[in-house]
Structure 1
Amino acid sequence: MSTYVTKTYDRLDRICYDRYGSTDNRIVEWVIDQDYGIELYGIVLPIGIVIDLPDAPQQMSGPKVLPQIFLWS
């Protein structure tokens, strides 16, 4: 787990992208669930808010793998 202190013009989606490398798989919503009340600040967060950024759960981390499909064999 790590903490982040917001700076000028910080947005939660950008903070999540920098920390987790993606905003896929509902990472932003997951962080909102972990940091109760963070959604009350709006899109652009005020300066000096401390956000707890826990380690991503297994199902959210890692690249998304798509199955290979062959139309003709």
Structure 2
Amino acid sequence: MRVVAQQGDTIDALCHRHLGATAGLVEQVLALNYGISLHGPVLPMGTFVELPDLPAPSTGAAERPLIQLWD
């Protein structure tokens, strides 16, 4: 996904706004956008940034049983 930085945007702000998370994604954005770190922490307005695709949520996740204190 390609997005455009607005005034005062940082890479982690773009990840949070468009992907809903930042953990591990900032590093992927830096790898996808060679040389973007040369702009510093605040990106210039109008900078195009390629964001990674989020992996599909796994449907086979184990569910924890519900524990109630007073049964």
Fold match by TM threshold 0.5 = yes
- What is the aligned partner in structure 2 of residue 14 from structure 1? 13
Q: What is the total number of aligned residue pairs between the two structures?
A: 63
| 1:44 partner letter | V
- What is the aligned partner in structure 1 of residue 48 from structure 2? 50
Report deviation, 1:27.
0.7
- TM value normalised by structure 1: 0.69
SS at match of 1:9: coil
Report deviation, 1:4.
1.0
SS at match of 2:3: strand
Runs of 4+ that moved beyond 2 A: none
- What is the aligned partner in structure 2 of residue 27 from structure 1? 25
Once the two structures are superposed, what CA deviation does each residue of 1:14-73 show, in whole Å capped at 9, x if it has no partner?
A: 10011211112x1100111011111111111111111112312x3xx64xx8xx6xxxxx
* Bigger Cα Rg: 2
CA distance in 2, matches of 1:30, 1:54: 7
| 1:18 partner letter | R
